[in-house]
């Protein structure tokens, strides 16, 4: 291991409330709801009840109403004092699309691990939670005693949690897994609670970059401490050899701290474990995670057809095994900046240097390329490629991004985007030398002004102009021919110009945007379109996202 650099950052953290619910705080309350399930498997929807009492509660007189569904309890059903009960759409399944498959160990059996037996066995029931709006109502002897109501879906895979049994407020979960079924809600305040909020692991040309975000979610000041980093000995939580430690300053309630380090690890992956000292909430003190090592990634993007002449069904993406050994595609996904889709449900071994074509329609691809004899895969789901701008991402089974390519224009006449084959140009993309590209074969690439006259670059594509000193602005870089006529401006999603830059005969190579309109007004979060047109070089559009 070689440590290169570590950089801390201190900033303020704001918690947002998404809805307010519950009519009466009773001895049993609707405590948590997974209304926007992870991915697309609606069987992963569930909600949770909590006994707000020091005594056991007989559930005979209780019923839950979810839209048109009514859920009752078996005669003589008791819940213990301060006990949690999860009610789910599917408890176990053979394909993992179940509560046990996602929040258990995915063995197809509930109760075969300590983490599963630690909570009350969930009840399976028939109901449906509508993302755009709905409610879960708990009645006792015909009287409404507790409910959770929502008017928007919130974040995919993040539940709504009641702040406490004595509170009417409901907030999105801040747990690192997105929810807390069967345990105390992550938004319920405790005295001492320093949370390891986020862990990010990326690879930059053989260097592993680890970033950690910590938040004081407790009610008390948290004194100076350290975050310890270990090699992970096993998945159960046993730390291996010590690797590093990070000094954490004193943090006031609600305050956050970022720190990061750079390392060089051998092999493809390394299993690591980050640990904070014990406090009043142990769940968010430890994270075991897989990080990319020096040989990562095994696959990379090679070529893509975003605008086939035959129509959208002809879209395809080529990836290549860059290793000198075979590698399995099991668990790998392809998609855009919004979501990714599983490439194959079964493992497929890819030979060293072999190219794999992923296509929206195998039939359409074969009709266009009848002599193709390489490895062709039609994923079950496909994220369509836009005809103007898009981002293609390749993600592994650990949700680590292996590669991405963002384009802001497409080529006509069935030309593809191709990656350079030579070592010096392995990170450069250009137009395919021939119509139809070269699926399954070495790329023939036309670079630079020979391919297109204008290159527009935005760094970063997503920024947060909130004044915290981190990604408060974007840098816009223009690469194109000199001209007397050009214009550069930004539109909102309604097509209105919100910011004009230079236009006419004077043009700089670099511009900076701070997220404000022409009048200096701070613009709301959302997607904006950067538009540039240079006479003789064409026009280019590129998305910019303002986040908070």
Four-residue CA torsion sign, 325, 326, 332, 335: positive
The token pair that represents 43 in the structure block? 């069987």
For the chain, give the number of residues.
Answer: 548
Residue 63 to residue 73: CA distance in whole angstroms: 7
3-state secondary structure of 461: coil
Nearest-angstrom CA–CA distance, 216 and 248: 11
Collapsed DSSP state (helix, strand, coil) of residue 89 = coil
pLDDT in the model for residue 486 = 76
pLDDT for 7 equals 45
> Which DSSP symbol is given to 184?
-
Nearest to 543 by CA among 418, 409, 451, 394: 409
Torsion of CA 225, 231, 232, 233, to 10 degrees: -120
- Give the chain's domains with CATH numbers: 19-172 (2.60.40.1260), 194-292 (2.60.40.10), 299-450 (2.60.40.1260), 455-546 (2.60.40.1930)
Closest Cα to residue 320, out of 360, 361, 350?
350
Torsion angle in degrees (nearest 10) through CA of 533, 537, 538, 541: -60
SS3 string of 222-251? Answer: ECCEEEEEEEECCCCCCEEEEEEEEEECCE
HEC letters along 115-172:
HHHCCCCCEECCCCCCCCCEEEEEEECCEEEEEEEECCCCCCCCCEEECCCCCCEEEE
| Neighbouring C-beta atoms of residue 184, cutoff 10 Å | 17
Residue 426, C-beta contacts closer than 8 angstroms, at least 6 positions apart: 419, 420
Q: Could you tell me the CA-to-CA distances from 31 to 42, 102, 135, 151, 187 in Å, in that order?
A: 20, 20, 13, 17, 11
Query: Do 423 and 400 contact (CB within 8 A), yes or no?
Result: no
State the 10-residue block means of pLDDT for the chain, 548 residues long: 43 39 67 91 94 94 94 94 96 92 93 92 95 94 94 90 91 94 95 95 94 96 97 83 97 96 96 96 94 97 95 96 97 90 93 97 95 94 91 95 92 91 88 91 79 68 84 82 74 89 66 90 90 70 84
Q: What is the DSSP string of 481-530?
A: ---S-EEEEEE-TTS-EEEEEEEES---SEEEE-SB-TTSPBPPSEEEEE
Give SS3 for 367.
Answer: helix
DSSP states of 377-430 as a string? E--SS--PPPSS-EEEEEE-TTS-EEEEEEES---STT--EEE--SGGGTT-EE
CA distance 318 to 97: 29
How far, in Å, CA of 227 to CA of 236, rounded? 19
Helix (H, G, I), strand (E, B) or coil at 448: helix
């Amino acid at each position: 291991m070689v440590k290169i650099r570590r950089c801390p950052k201190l900033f303020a953290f704001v918690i947002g409330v998404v809805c307010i619910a519950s009519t009466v705080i009773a001895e049993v309350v609707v405590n948590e709801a997974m209304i926007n399930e992870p991915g697309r498997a609606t069987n992963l929807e569930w909600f949770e009840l909590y006994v707000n009492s020091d005594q056991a509660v007989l559930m005979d007189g209780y019923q839950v109403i979810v839209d048109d569904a009514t859920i009752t309890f078996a005669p003589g059903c008791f819940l213990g004092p301060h006990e949690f009960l999860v009610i789910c759409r599917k408890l176990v399944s053979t394909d993992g699309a179940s509560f046990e498959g996602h929040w258990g160990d995915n063995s197809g059996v509930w109760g075969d691990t300590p983490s599963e037996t630690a909570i009350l066995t969930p009840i399976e029931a028939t109901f449906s939670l509508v993302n755009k709006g709905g409610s879960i109502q708990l009645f006792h002897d015909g009287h409404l005693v507790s409910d959770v109501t929502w008017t928007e879906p919130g974040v995919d895979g993040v539940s709504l949690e009641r702040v406490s049994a004595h509170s009417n407020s409901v907030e999105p979960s801040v747990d690192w897994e997105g929810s807390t079924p069967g345990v105390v809600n992550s938004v319920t305040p405790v005295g001492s609670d320093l949370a390891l909020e986020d862990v990010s692991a990326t690879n930059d040309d053989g260097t592993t970059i680890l970033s950690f975000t910590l938040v004081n979610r407790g009610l008390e000041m948290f004194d100076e401490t350290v975050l310890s980093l270990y090699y992970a000995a096993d998945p159960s939580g046993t730390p291996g050899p010590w690797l590093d430690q990070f000094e954490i300053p004193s943090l006031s309630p609600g305050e956050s701290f970022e720190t990061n380090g750079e390392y060089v690890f051998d092999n493809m992956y390394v299993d690591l474990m980050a640990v904070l000292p014990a406090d009043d909430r142990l769940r968010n003190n430890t994270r075991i995670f897989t990080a990319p090592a020096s040989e990562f990634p095994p696959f990379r993007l090679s070529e893509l057809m975003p605008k086939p002449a035959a129509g959208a069904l002809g879209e395809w993406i080529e990836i290549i095994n860059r290793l000198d050994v075979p590698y399995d595609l099991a668990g790998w996904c392809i998609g855009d900046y919004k979501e990714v889709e599983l490439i194959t449900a079964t493992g497929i071994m890819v030979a060293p240097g072999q190219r794999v074509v992923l296509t929206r329609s195998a039939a359409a691809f074969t009709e266009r390329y009848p002599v193709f004899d390489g490895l062709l895969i039609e994923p079950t789901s496909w994220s369509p490629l836009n005809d103007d701008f898009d981002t293609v991402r390749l993600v592994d089974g650990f949700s680590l991004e292996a590669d991405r390519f963002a384009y802001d224009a497409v080529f006509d006449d069935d030309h593809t985007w191709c990656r350079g084959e030579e070592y010096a140009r392995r990170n450069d993309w250009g137009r395919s030398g021939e119509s139809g590209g070269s699926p399954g074969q070495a790329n023939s690439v036309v670079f630079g002004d020979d391919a297109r006259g204008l290159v527009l670059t935005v760094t970063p594509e997503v920024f947060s102009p909130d004044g915290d000193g981190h990604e408060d602005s974007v840098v816009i870089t223009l690469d194109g021919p000199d001209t007397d006529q050009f214009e550069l401006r930004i539109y909102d999603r309604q097509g209105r110009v919100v910011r004009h830059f230079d236009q006419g005969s004077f043009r700089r190579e670099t511009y900076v945007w701070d997220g404000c309109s022409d009048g200096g007004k701070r613009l709301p979060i959302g997607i904006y379109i950067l538009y540039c047109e240079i006479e003789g070089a064409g026009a280019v559009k590129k998305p910019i996202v303002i986040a908070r």
